[in-house]
């Protein structure tokens, strides 16, 4: 009878049908062994499926990355892959700060105490300078000013930087990065196709988008070869 039931029912518990001479403990061990064997077969099948699986599009690739264990792919690595995948598709306007957020100076202005106080209160460190035609002709960087050598009657045009760089709002982020590298700057004025000023972008923001996270490092002695050589990187 036992053999007949087992033959008709593929899910029949063969240990329940065994003679009473097998103890419950033996049956439990045998069942546990069978369960482990079955689980191993499932795990092996999943591994084979993932090993042979080839994503057919970007969406499937993202899903595969999400399924990858964190022991294999860390959060930082996931962010880096995600940021890099979309880097050449996103536009410069994505990281552009609007024109209304810019504090302009005139090339005839003087950097007296009142003007400097006004600039420092903005929280910015870079300020575009306008000429008489209201076009940007230079930059003032308050974090690089040598205040001890600035004369009271010295106009902004005498102390400003002249290396102004422009990029278009419809540049991809990859094109924008190339523009930053060409101009060797960390500050870019963003314009539209009609040459109208739209806003500005900064290199540190662009790098954060590339890595899909904020890049932080509290080390501030890069100008000292001694401190750099002795720096603990752990």
Q: What is the pLDDT of residues 29-56, one digit of tens each?
A: 888 888 888 778 767 766 666 666 677 8
- The confidence score (pLDDT) of residue 3 equals 47
**pLDDT at residue 17 above 70?**
no
- Please, what is the Cα angle at 220 between 129 and 105, to 5 degrees? 10
CA dihedral sign, ordered 59, 171, 212, 73: positive
What mean pLDDT is reported for the chain?
Answer: 83
Q: In which element (H, E) is residue 129 found?
A: strand 126-130
Per-residue pLDDT reduced to its tens digit, 146-187: 776 677 778 999 999 999 999 999 999 999 999 999 999 999
Sign for the pseudo-dihedral over CA of 49, 53, 58, 62: positive
CA dist 201 and 187 (Å) reads 6
| Confidence at residue 47, expressed as pLDDT on a 0 to 100 scale | 67
């Amino acid at each position: 009878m036992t053999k007949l039931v087992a033959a008709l029912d593929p899910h029949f518990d063969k240990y329940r049908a065994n003679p009473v001479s097998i103890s419950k403990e033996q049956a439990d061990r045998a069942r546990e062994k069978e369960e482990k064997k079955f689980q191993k077969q499932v795990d092996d099948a999943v591994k084979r499926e993932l090993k042979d699986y080839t994503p057919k599009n970007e969406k499937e690739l993202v899903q595969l990355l999400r399924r990858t264990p964190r022991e294999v792919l860390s959060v930082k690595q996931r962010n880096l892959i995600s940021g890099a995948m979309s880097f050449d598709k996103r536009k410069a306007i994505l990281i552009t700060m609007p024109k209304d957020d810019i504090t302009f100076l005139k090339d005839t202005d003087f950097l007296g105490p009142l003007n400097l106080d006004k600039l420092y209160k903005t929280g910015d460190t870079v300020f575009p300078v306008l000429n008489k035609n209201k076009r940007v002709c230079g930059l003032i960087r308050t974090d690089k000013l040598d205040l001890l050598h600035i004369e009271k009657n010295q106009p902004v045009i005498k102390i400003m930087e002249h290396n102004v760089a422009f990029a278009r709002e419809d540049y991809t982020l990859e094109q924008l990065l190339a523009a930053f590298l060409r101009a060797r700057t960390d500050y870019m004025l963003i314009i539209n196709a009609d040459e109208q000023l739209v806003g500005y972008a900064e290199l540190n923001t662009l790098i954060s988008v590339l890595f899909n996270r904020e890049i932080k490092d509290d080390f501030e002695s890069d100008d000292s070869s001694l401190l750099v050589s002795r720096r603990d990187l752990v």
